[in-house]
Structure 1
Amino acid sequence: MRRTTSTAAETARPSSDRARFRSLPTRDVMQYGVVSIDMGEPVCKAIQLLLDKHISGLPVTNQGRLAGILSEKDVLKLLYEQEYLPGLVGDYMSRDIVTFDIESPFSDIYDCLTASVYRRVPILHQGRLAGMITRADLIRVYRERLHPPESVPVTPRLRKEFLAQDAMVHGLLTVRKETPLTEVMDILSTRHVTGLPVVDDAMRLEGMITEKDIIRCLDDREACLSTVRDHMTVDVVAFEPTAPLGDVCACLIRRNFRRVPIVRDGRLLGIVARADIIRKMSQVFKLAGANADCN
């Protein structure tokens, strides 16, 4: 085994970082509003929740109190052994679970998630499910609190200098004018989006098709069987990637739409939604708080 030595100066910051990280309050790390399911629900509903919410474990409750966990691994093993899963969630959940109280030292939770096979632990308050902490939460909070992406102090002036591209989401779902409206309905209802950019083969933006556009067609069967071309919104407000994020924010406050396309030379680059701006500014506020704690 190779051993290395470090000077006091080299080890001071990592030790300090580790101590600060482990001393965080549990309530500052955990996820609130956790998706859960009652043990009396059909197991097929739980499986659909795992798939729809892109989560790997589902807390199971009984009259509001945590009763177990149904994980991807549990479901995969069952599906491998059986052709289908009849019955209720309570028939398949794991009852042997490790939990922590919201007042438990975060260092204990950190040690559990790093030393055991568990990827997540439920957090309880007065015996009831209050939240969840996962390994991903450890990484996220460490990054935000101790090694934030911005290397300069966050000031009101800097917040004003954010651009649309700083909050923009890439890898978009898009449709063509020729896309059947029924296909758009499937995307909107299963992918948890409320609008889709309409583009041509060169990714030039041609319009938007939104929930509102679709709803107008629901009482007309013939319209529902038509294509995006007949129902999309052509008059679309769009921004360049270098537009001030404050301008995009003001637009989304004044107008009734929830997102705006980001384009360059007419070609779609991404989308900025209200939630994207909230997420970006929340990161800024957390970073500002972390910087204040360091001073």
Structure 2
Amino acid sequence: MLVKDFMTKDVITVREDQSMLEAREVMRSKKLYSLPVVDDISRVRGMITVDDIGKASPSDSSTLSRYEANYLLGRLKVKDIMSRTVVTVDSEDTIEYVAYNLYKRKVNALPVLGRDGKLCGIISRSDMFRSFVEMMGVNQSCTRFTVIAPDKVGVVAEITSIMKEDGINIISLATLQSGNGTAEITIRCRLNNNGLDIIEQIREAGYEVTDIMSLDGLE
């Protein structure tokens, strides 16, 4: 799965010469937490966030009237408070790479650049949650269970081979190294007429199976 499959393509942006007041109103009306700052040919020049605006705004304890506060905000330009060091991603990058950068940088969204180096989208934490739901098949009715197995070559192949022999369709499979030489393999699948017999077959192969549940697809 790539960034281009989940990014928002119609990006709301601001320019450096717009007022901070304009940027704030755009964020409020569109319920956004950040806005890319671009020039006339869609090159990213910076990023402005709700936090940036909050830091530049008069505090609640200020003696300024609402009119005076808005006047000051109107005089401040986006370029005066925006972050100029912007982490961007490429439309061909993987969503895992995006997730890592969102987590590491502690930001809500990242601008996406096309091959020409210009802004072509934006990908947010919300987009990442959507990609996770689709990747894991959470929106599909299925049976979910976890296999506790040795963390070694061939384990996944053996388990999926057992399921293949029974004609079980695997919706998603994820592994997590749990330490002590073991791994947790979480499988979502559609069971056929054999029902839960597949669970017993996996156990007979020497694996521990836990957290067995039947799930309805989420809307």
What TM-score range do you get, normalising by the shorter chain?
A: 0.5 to 0.7
Aligned length: 134
* 1:217 has 2:56 as partner: yes
Q: Is the CA contact 1:237–1:261 (under 8 Å) kept in the aligned structure 2?
A: yes
1:285 to partner: Cα distance: 2.0
* 1:283 has 2:122 as partner: no
Q: What does 1:89-168 correspond to in 2, within 5 Å?
A: 162-168=1-7
Question: Which protein has greater RCO, CA pairs closer than 8 Å, 6+ apart?
Answer: 2
Q: Is the CA contact 1:217–1:223 (under 8 Å) kept in the aligned structure 2?
A: no
* 1:203 has 2:39 as partner: no
Partner of 1:293: 190
Q: Deviations for 1:83-128, whole angstroms, at most 9, x for unmatched residues?
A: xxxxxxxxxxxxxxxxxxxxxxxxxxxxxxxxxxxxxxxxxxxxxx
Equivalent of residue 256 in structure 1, options 85, 95, 106:
106
Amino acid in structure 1 at the alignment position of 2:131: K
What SS does the aligned partner of 2:122 have? strand
CA distance in 2, matches of 1:256, 1:281: 18
Question: Greater strand percent: which structure?
Answer: 2
TM-score of the two chains, using structure 1 as the length reference:
0.43
CA distance in 2, matches of 1:280, 1:212: 26
Question: Greater helix percent: which structure?
Answer: 1
1:231 to partner: Cα distance: 1.0
1:204 to partner: Cα distance: 0.9
TM-score of the two chains, using structure 2 as the length reference:
0.56
Partner of 2:185: none
What SS does the aligned partner of 1:174 have? coil
CA distance in 2, matches of 1:232, 1:269: 20
Partner of 1:185: 24
What SS does the aligned partner of 2:41 have? coil
**Coordinate RMSD, CA, aligned:** 2.0
Q: Deviations for 1:22-79, whole angstroms, at most 9, x for unmatched residues?
A: xxxxxxxxxxxxxxxxxxxxxxxxxxxxxxxxxxxxxxxxxxxxxxxxxxxxxxxxxx
Q: Which runs of no fewer than 5 residues in structure 1 stay unpaired?
A: 1-161
CA distance in 2, matches of 1:289, 1:246: 25
